[in-house]
Structure 1
Amino acid sequence: MSDSKTQHRIRVALVDDQTMIRQSLGYVIQMQSDMEVIGEASDGEEAVELISSITPDVVLMDVQMPKKSGIQATKEIVMKHPEIKVLILTTFDNHNYVVEGIRAGAVGYMLKDADSQEMLDLIRRAYQGEALFHTVTAAKALAEVLHTQFSQPEPPTDKPLLLDDLTERELDVLQQIAYGFRNDQIAQNLFISEGTVKTHVHRILHKMGVEDRTQAVAKALRHRLVK
């Protein structure tokens, strides 16, 4: 990871049609030394215009909003600004929302009743490039999307990536990343130290020519490196 990601505050944008929700989230975020709220929008249409002008690092995006849904807004934002991480924010643990959010390019899914520490942790981890779909419904939806993309991958448009480019252990770690596991969980699953996992992740990103874990998974799917 680039050291620059630890040298400035995480820039967060809030998108929700309920003023009270935006105020509550904003209050908690503004209390943190490593993040700040740089903009708010009350509907999807406004969000697309706002995000293009302020380019935040992370967006908390409500699903059901007037004028344009959070899913459509996410799709448009990610297409224009693939470096921006969008976390879907909703009241219900809904399978369809998760599937649509993943396909739109969201990197995570958060329930509105999550406690403040969990929310802050998700923002920080999304910023670092992790995929965050950890409710039971979200896990099943992610598996469905991964299966569909693995069965019918898009033709690679970048330099061919061969299995030989990654070691067997690096492929194991890459598969774990695709499942959405954190470094400590990967270490436990593969019976290796967390420091070793970090080393493997660094090498994987370097070999694949990507900046973060989300891009690594997307490229791995295109090249059939993960299931």
Structure 2
Amino acid sequence: MKRINIMIVDDQTLMREGLKTIIELEEDMEVVATAENGEEAIRKAEQTQPDLILMDIQMPIMNGIDSLKEIKSKLNDVKILILTTFANDDYIISGLLNGSEGFLLKDMNYDQLISSIRSAYQGQIILPNLIAKKLAKRIAQHEPERPRVFNQDFINDKGIRFSKREKEVIELLVQGFSNKKIADSLFISEGTVKNYISEVYSKIEINDRAQAIIYLNQFMSY
């Protein structure tokens, strides 16, 4: 059985030790190091080469975002999940732009923690619904200076085919339009919009609107 080697980075001793105790109950996981600030995390990450790091954001000496940037520049394959007690928009954007595999809220339960670690290790992005909604809202509020178009190469790489009408619906969906507003813009019924959105959800295998907006945003470029 391949073990997931994990490093925990948090300035609170109780949080570090509590997470370590929980994680090491799993046969396929091992905590290979802990650190109490971002600077120590960089040094220990290079020494222990973990598969995955649980990284707090607000820490003395060096914060989690700066530490994440440095570690990602040195260790290409390491997965980093950011630990946070609140869903700050700027942290969300900064974390994802700098290569984080997602976020974990510190009040999550045991099963969510273990499941998220396994999913992130397998390459999935971890976004709790609260964070996904904030990020989707931030994306929708962004007003680009130039119109956005579908990145066909990206779509081809994903092996997904969207019809012309589905693309029109997606363009409005990622802008944060409601179903009614999409219907009015495309001169179709709201029921028809729901059908198109359901078909899109089926193709991308996502059923949550906020998560879908974040995912579909990748298909758009300037």
> What RMSD over aligned residues (CA atoms) do the two structures have, in Å?
3.5
1:53 is paired with a residue of what secondary structure? Answer: helix
Q: Which of 124, 127, 133 is residue 118 of structure 2 equivalent to?
A: 124
> What residue in structure 1 maps to residue 127 of structure 2?
133
> What residue in structure 2 maps to residue 210 of structure 1?
none
> What residue in structure 1 maps to residue 104 of structure 2?
110
- Offset at residue 138 of structure 1 (A): 3.7
Q: Which of 78, 93, 96 is residue 84 of structure 1 equivalent to?
A: 78
> What residue in structure 1 maps to residue 31 of structure 2?
37
Distance in 1, matches of 2:111 and 2:83, equals: 15
Aligned pairs, number? 175
Instruction: Provide the TM-score with structure 1 as the length reference.
Output: 0.65
Write out aligned runs for 1:87-98 (5 A). 87-98=81-92
Q: Does 1:190 align with 2:202?
A: yes
Q: Does 1:99 align with 2:98?
A: no
Unaligned runs of 5+ in 2: 147-151, 175-197, 207-214
Structure-2 change in CA distance of 1:56 and 1:142 (3 Å): farther
- Offset at residue 116 of structure 1 (A): 1.1
Identical aligned residues as a percent: 34
Distance in 2, matches of 1:151 and 1:107, equals: 29
- TM-superposition CA deviations, 1:123-145 (whole Å, max 9, x none): 00000000111232344326746
Question: Which structure is larger by alpha-carbon Rg, 1 or 2?
Answer: 2
Structure-2 change in CA distance of 1:161 and 1:63 (3 Å): same
Distance in 1, matches of 2:123 and 2:140, equals: 18
> What residue in structure 2 maps to residue 69 of structure 1?
63
> What residue in structure 2 maps to residue 25 of structure 1?
19
Structure-2 change in CA distance of 1:151 and 1:44 (3 Å): farther
Distance in 2, matches of 1:141 and 1:69, equals: 21
Distance in 2, matches of 1:104 and 1:90, equals: 16
Distance in 2, matches of 1:163 and 1:19, equals: 45
Distance in 1, matches of 2:199 and 2:6, equals: 30
- Offset at residue 32 of structure 1 (A): 0.2
> What residue in structure 2 maps to residue 58 of structure 1?
52
Structure-2 change in CA distance of 1:138 and 1:165 (3 Å): closer
